[in-house]
Amino acid sequence: MRRIPNIIIISSILIGSIPILGYALVALSKTIPFYDFSRILHHYNIFQILFNVFLFAVAIGMLKIQKWSFVSFIILGVCFLFYSIFLIFFSWFGFLSYNFHISDYTILLFLISILIASLAYIIRKELAMPYLSILGRGWRLSRRESLPIKIEWSYELGLAGYGLTENISSKGCLLPLSESMVMVFLPDAKIEMKLYFVDENIVKVIPVIGTVLRIEETISRDKVEESLVKAGILFEYVQGKTDEKWVLNFLNEKYSARYLTDLNANLEYNKIFKSTKMFNLSRTGMYLISNEMLAAKEEVTIEFHTMLGGVSCGGEVVWSNPKGLFDKPPGFGIKITKVRNLFKFYIYLFFLAYLDEIRR
């Protein structure tokens, strides 16, 4: 069963509850018992009935992850958003016969907040979770990091080989296929695999059964007349949830999303103070631009200023890049060991995550 984000569940419940609340309001306003369905329904016109049925269908469609329901939700959400804003505006200036109370404003503002959050979530994550995409990529809950993880695969009749992932999450990967792999990695094929992760110079092997969900074929960038074939693969862990949790933790700690930021930072180490600039920032670390390298395991303190104020982090240098390789300027990577202004740090990180500009 596919797991659904909480914001989508909340939105679906709210949409599905609108017809129920409307039914209750009609019953209360007309002093009709709730169980007298036919009398209450008599006060609806045909358009109201169709609209309420449509709302139920959209709510169920969202829970079933149907693309049409997300398109409908965006249209309905935008319309209701403008309707609620105009309703509040007209009530403030006395253009409505109904007098709004504090509770009415509270409910409207709550609904508006949920709508804005839901719309922003769906629109910002449309590529990562392709509700509206013409590609049948399925329901993707976690970001796939661009990582070359070694995969050893084997298939029936003694077929076997190796490959490197283009991107990977705990749920699956995108795997470029060599010419010999194209005939094996077919849609719906189940292939035995071993994932090789390097953790602190120790190689950990995770066995999975890979199911090929889709095949992508694109023209190579160097304009040579050949195509690049890739397979989208879903993982089923042979040793169960323990291995899946290990992979998730490994990706979260080692390869948490690095977000683009150009903040100035003050660096302190061995009672030496230095001004520098950030290249990227994540939950677990950052990359600082510098022509002067620090030794690995050097303990440092970094201070930077966000829109909410200053943030101070303790860290440890984990690697240096004096030649400016890997599409980065010269500098070094820092593992964050302590954050002294946790609230400000996570609010700023949430802001960067919303912008969704990755700079690894």
Please determine, for residue 117, whether its predicted confidence score (pLDDT) is greater than 70: yes
CB 206, CB 243: distance < 8 Å: yes
Asked if 226 and 319 sit in the same domain, the reply is: no
Residue 298 confidence (pLDDT) above 60 = yes
The tokens describing 227, both together, are 């195509």
Exposed e or buried b for every residue in 175-201, given b needs 16+ CB within 10 A? Answer: bebeeebeebbeeeeebebebebeeee
For residue 343, the Cα-to-chain-centroid distance in whole angstroms is 21
CA distances from 2 to 19, 96, 139, 141 (A): 27, 45, 8, 9
Give which of 186, 208, 180 is closest to 196, Cα–Cα: 208
Asked if residue 115 and residue 11 are part of one domain, the reply reads: yes
Mean pLDDT of 88-98: 71
The residue segments making up the domain with residue 272 are 259-355
What's this model's pTM, rounded to 2 decimal places?
0.48
pLDDT at 94: 72
Same domain assignment for residues 284 and 211: no
DSSP 297-340: T-EEEEEEEETTEEEEEEEEEEEEETT--TT--SEEEEEEEEES
Considering the domain architecture, whether residues 263 and 349 belong to the same structural domain is answered as yes
In a domain, 134, yes or no: no
Q: Do 46 and 108 sit in the same domain of this protein? A: yes
Looking at 204, 239, 254, the residue that finishes a domain is: 254
Q: Which of the pair, 58 or 133, is modelled with greater confidence?
A: 58
Give the model's pLDDT for residue 15: 80
Number of domains composing the chain: 3
CATH number, domain of 308, equals: 2.40.10.220
* Residue range 128-182, pLDDT digits in tens: 444 444 444 444 445 566 677 899 999 988 899 999 888 888 888 889 898 889 8
- Mind listing the pLDDT tens digit for each residue in 191-242? 999 999 987 668 899 999 999 988 887 654 444 445 578 898 999 999 999 9
The answer to whether position 141 is within a domain reads: no
57 three-class SS: helix
- Given a cut of 70, whether residue 317 has pLDDT beyond it is yes
Residue 129 lies in a domain: no
Q: Is 12 helix (H, G, I), strand (E, B) or coil?
A: helix
DSSP 173-233: EEEE--TTTTTT--TT-EEEEEEEEEETTEEEEEEEEEEEEEEEEEE-TT--S-EEEEEEE
